[in-house]
Amino acid sequence: MQSDSNFFDEMYQDTDAPRAPYQRYHDWITAEDAAGLRRKSSEAETFFRRTGITFNVYGDDEAAERLIPFDMVPRIISPHEWTRLAKGIEQRVRAINAFLHDIYHRQEILRAGRIPVELVAQNEAFLPKMIGVSPPGGVYTHIVGVDLVRTGADEFFVLEDNARTPSGVSYMLENRETMLQMFPELFSLNKVVSVSNYPQDLRRSLAASAPSDCDGEPVVAVLTPGIHNSAYFEHSFLADQMGVELAEGHDLRIVDGRIAMRTTRGYTPIDVLYRRVDDDFLDPLNFNPESMLGVPGIMDVYRAGKITLANAPGTGICDDKAIYSYMPDIVEFYTGEKALLNNVPTWRCSEPESLAYVREHLSELVVKEVHGSGGYGMLVGPAASKKELAAFSAKLASNPSNYIAQPTLALSTVPILTRQGLAPRHVDLRPFVLVSPQGIRITPGGLTRVALKKGSLVVNSSQGGGTKDTWVLEA
């Protein structure tokens, strides 16, 4: 395999010897015919195209819809590694929910001076209309995605939290289904924990979060902005897999103080709405009056405790990368424990000393917008030209509070299959967490995103990245 000794490779501990979790897979792939593997790779692409597993790219005139490339070399995580990660993820998600309840109620963390008041009060993702509102069951983030990166054998960092509308779980499920179809023998050789129950677990978790006065089996539905949304495939896929209705805003209305969905039998009341519509577009009477995507008055029904919205409005503040920089304090404040998973060191450009440092060392850092996602609006300093660095420095000077900066991490690599054979590429991991009043459930593994370009650290699909199946081995 082509190697890069500067980075920790998860498959190979040196040029030829595989690490223990990969031993059986390594023995299998080295015995396989290279041409046959390439044919299988082409089959996988055909399968994804036929299934319609695509995403939309905004602002791309040439190809508004793209296929996310799938690499057939799995990422493999040992039981010990996963147990450690899962404990850290659960601790973090508990703290996030406690933080959200606090900032919309007593605001004790602000009174204690652990977080600057203005960071919350002036945050565009903070919703004053949620102050004093307690979601059914006390759950704010029913579905969470925690982005992790690895830099060494025992070194994991949280890169960011996705508490608003984490996406990508459909690719996790389809990646596994594709691997099971193409290489069933691999799952006999390697005892891999299943992820196929996720849709049923999601439905059960959502149903368990229904309002307390729900009578009988809770009615669950998925709210989508429609076919032009970049993640529409996932909305449709999850509704179908859960066996629930996929609705758009115009399918819903208020009937007798509840949100009801139009069906062939008239309007049916909904108890839980898994909404993939952003806060600002959720309710034109309470938020953006121009929105055609939401349901007029739904926030009033929600505040009356007559429907569960998953995730709760106002959770997006935990996606804010300036808030992220305080997560070790947040975890300790609400759990009384040190964070089990480390943050990436972060400079808040809103602070003059940090801004000066970042501008001086811009060529060494990764700079992100505090509300950015999908790899948009970021600068990877080591890969930027002098002209790009100068332009970004001017952006920082004009609006410093919009940015944070982090060191360029030596992300771990996992091989991909190229025409020349196996070659290392950088990866991250997004495990998916389900939260209900009954507890927290973490799907074993998650979505591994891979930077397909040699040397690239940007794994986002919108920036040319691909995905891999993620295996957690049975203990």
Q: Which residues contact 372 (CB under 8 A, 6 or more apart)?
A: 321, 378
> How confident is the model over 354-395, as pLDDT tens digits?
999 999 999 999 999 988 765 667 888 888 899 999 999 999
The pLDDT of 127-142, averaged and rounded, is 97
Q: What is the mean pLDDT of the chain?
A: 91
Least confident segment among 50-64, 347-361, 399-413, 449-463? 50-64
- CA dist., res. 391 & res. 190, Å (int): 50
Give the pLDDT confidence score for residue 5 in this predicted structure: 57
- CA dist., res. 371 & res. 6, Å (int): 31
Residue 152, judged by CB atoms within 10 A of its CB (0-12, 13-18, 19+), counts as exposed
Least confident segment among 269-273, 298-302, 420-424, 427-431? 420-424
**% of the chain at pLDDT higher than 70:** 94
Least confident segment among 49-58, 214-223, 425-434? 49-58
Give the pLDDT confidence score for residue 35 in this predicted structure: 87
Q: Is the pLDDT of residue 316 over 80?
A: yes
Give the pLDDT confidence score for residue 57 in this predicted structure: 46
> How confident is the model over 257-266, as pLDDT tens digits?
999 999 888 9
Give the pLDDT confidence score for residue 319 in this predicted structure: 93
- Per the CB < 8 A criterion, the answer to whether 471 and 462 are in contact is no
- Per the CB < 8 A criterion, the answer to whether 229 and 293 are in contact is no
> How confident is the model over 396-423, as pLDDT tens digits?
999 999 999 999 888 999 999 998 889 9
Give the start-to-end residue ranges of the domains of the chain.
Answer: 20-341+409-472, 345-407
Least confident segment among 54-58, 182-186, 439-443? 54-58
Q: Is the pLDDT of residue 236 over 60?
A: yes
Which 3 state secondary structure label does DSSP give 19?
Answer: coil
Give the pLDDT confidence score for residue 336 in this predicted structure: 97
Task: Say how far residue 410 (Cα) sits from the centre of its chain.
Answer: 21
Question: What is the full DSSP assignment across 218-283?
Answer: PPEEEE---TTSTTHHHHHHHHHHHT-EEE-GGGEEEETTEEEEEETTEEEE-SEEEE-S-HHHH-
Q: Which two tokens stand for residue 355?
A: 């801004």
Give the pLDDT confidence score for residue 61 in this predicted structure: 43
Q: What's the predicted TM-score (pTM) here? A: 0.92
Residue where the block lists tokens 């089996």: 217
Beta strands 432-436 and 413-418 are unpaired
Beta strands 272-275 and 308-310 are parallel
Work out the number of other CB atoms within 10 angstroms of the CB of residue 323: 25
CATH label, 345-407, candidates 3.40.50.1980, 3.30.1490.270, 3.40.50.720, 3.40.50.300: 3.30.1490.270
3-class DSSP string for 415-446: EEEECCEEEEEEEEEECEEEEECCEEEECCCC
